[in-house]
Amino acid sequence: MFTNWIKGKINIKTIVISSLIAVSALLILSFSNYRTEHPSFDKQIKAAQKMKKAENILYEEKTALGYQIDSSLDPNRTALIGKEYTKITTTLGDLKAKRTAANPDFAALIVKYFYQLDLKKGDKIAVGASGSFPGLILAVLSAAEIMELDVSLIYSIGASMYGANIPDFTFIDMLKYLRQHNIISTEITALSFGGDNDRADNLFFIDDKKTFFDIADRSNIPLIYEDTLSESIHKRIDIFSDFSKNDKIKCFINIGGASANFGSTSSSVKFNNGLTIPGHLNTEYAENGLISYYLSKNIPVIHLLNIENLAHKSGIQVDPVPLPKPGKSDVYYIVKYNKTLIKFFLLLIALPLIFSIISGKLKKEVK
């Protein structure tokens, strides 16, 4: 029916002309776009600088403890790269992803997400993080403090390979040093072991759970250690509810693949990387973890996993050496097009079609 209408109203020559104009317009517009600073550019810069300053402090503290920074593992000397296997290593991990996550541009990305969510000073956010990506925890805390948000962080001690898996230099220790130097002020609300069942079950080495208890004991931070994963998830929900009180949590952030946050069912793999607005997934099964729970409560989620993919789609370099200077990467900018030029080309495309229809009517009237 539509084809018959076209044949009756618009001739093929006119369609070809409009199509050629459209193709030409696309080519011209592709060369006429320009980059401009993201509206949160200033805060993005400050967050990235804060994260970089934190890495410098951690480098000093780590070397002071007697650890040598292996340039083959951590060429940017961020102090955020752990060892391959330790007593608190819970899963396999990718070194390239760990180094990518140490890029301060991720702090700028988190600011960008907060801007998209229209978060304001004093808004409450809940963060669940494993020790697998200390760089991303640092990025989130740097961004949150620059934005003056109120943060509750539940940290899982276990880490994948090359994460914060050095028993006396976990993220608990890193945060202690950063607080001492007045770089980061956020405290950890509660700890868990992480790993299988959120209890560090089925470790690589036998009887290494004692190391987890030792780390928790010396931290003096409340420990979540429940009989089942479901109970652990509900305990976290209670802790975050006590934190928010009468205020609604404005965002939940998951960092890494801790089962209590990420879930332990097939639904977990469906979670979108980066910022997810409620409505994409809506399930309340406890075993699906906190991501699913908060989405079901109409609370946005920032899911930070599959880091190389997230970096690619966000305009952040993968595994850069050296680290880029804050403000240089695409994550700080948005692409704009000349609106006047777009309107002009739309009119130019439409004119032959309009002329063809009008001339067709006139011919019929003459007949």
Tens of pLDDT, residue by residue over 315-365, are 999 999 999 999 999 999 997 665 666 666 566 666 666 666 666 554 555
pLDDT at residue 284, rounded to an integer? 46
Q: Name residue, tokens 């945060």.
A: 175
Confidence of residue 278 (pLDDT cuts 50, 70, 90): confident
- Least Cα distance to 161 among 243, 257, 237 occurs for 257
DSSP one-letter code for 331: G
- Least Cα distance to 157 among 105, 269, 82, 106 occurs for 82
Residue 148 DSSP SS3? coil
pLDDT digits (tens, 9 = 90+) for 174-201: 999 999 999 999 999 999 999 888 998 8
The stretch 75-79 carries a mean pLDDT of: 98
- Helix then strand then coil, % of the chain, to nearest 5: 50, 15, 35
Confidence of residue 282 (pLDDT cuts 50, 70, 90): very low
pTM of the full structure: 0.83
Is 200 or 104 the better-scoring residue by pLDDT? 104
The pair of structure tokens assigned to 303 is: 């899911």
Confidence of residue 234 (pLDDT cuts 50, 70, 90): very high
Give the DSSP H/E element, type plus range, for residue 97.
helix 95-101
Asked if pLDDT for residue 306 goes beyond 70, the answer is: yes
Asked if pLDDT for residue 366 goes beyond 70, the answer is: no
For the chain, the average pLDDT equals 87
Asked if pLDDT for residue 7 goes beyond 70, the answer is: no
Q: In Å, how far from its chain's centre is CA 253? A: 8
- Residue 202 Ramachandran class (φ > 0 left, ψ -120 to 50 alpha, else beta): left
Asked if pLDDT for residue 153 goes beyond 70, the answer is: yes
Residues, the chain: 367
The pair of structure tokens assigned to 15 is: 């369609």
pLDDT at residue 338, rounded to an integer? 58
Using alpha carbons only, how large is the chain's radius of gyration in Å? Answer: 26
Asked if pLDDT for residue 15 goes beyond 90, the answer is: no
Asked if pLDDT for residue 269 goes beyond 70, the answer is: no
Amino acid (one-letter) located at 181: H
Q: What is the distance between the alpha carbons of residues 77 and 70, in angstroms, rounded to a whole number?
A: 8
The pLDDT > 90 percentage for the chain reads 67
- Least Cα distance to 295 among 259, 260, 271 occurs for 271
Q: What is the distance between the alpha carbons of residues 142 and 101, in angstroms, rounded to a whole number?
A: 14
- Least Cα distance to 278 among 258, 262, 299 occurs for 299
- Least Cα distance to 119 among 342, 299, 347, 346 occurs for 299
Confidence of residue 285 (pLDDT cuts 50, 70, 90): very low
Taking CA atoms, 168 is separated from 21, 87, 96, 160, 259, in Å, by 66, 11, 23, 16, 24
b/e per residue 190-215 (b: at least 16 CB within 10 A): bbbbbbbbbbbeebeeeebbebbeeb
> What pairing do the DSSP bridges indicate for beta strands 159-160 and 150-156?
unpaired
**In the chain, which ranges are E strands?**
34-37, 89-91, 124-129, 150-156, 159-160, 188-192, 223-224, 251-255, 274-276, 301-304, 333-336
- Least Cα distance to 262 among 123, 163, 161, 156 occurs for 156
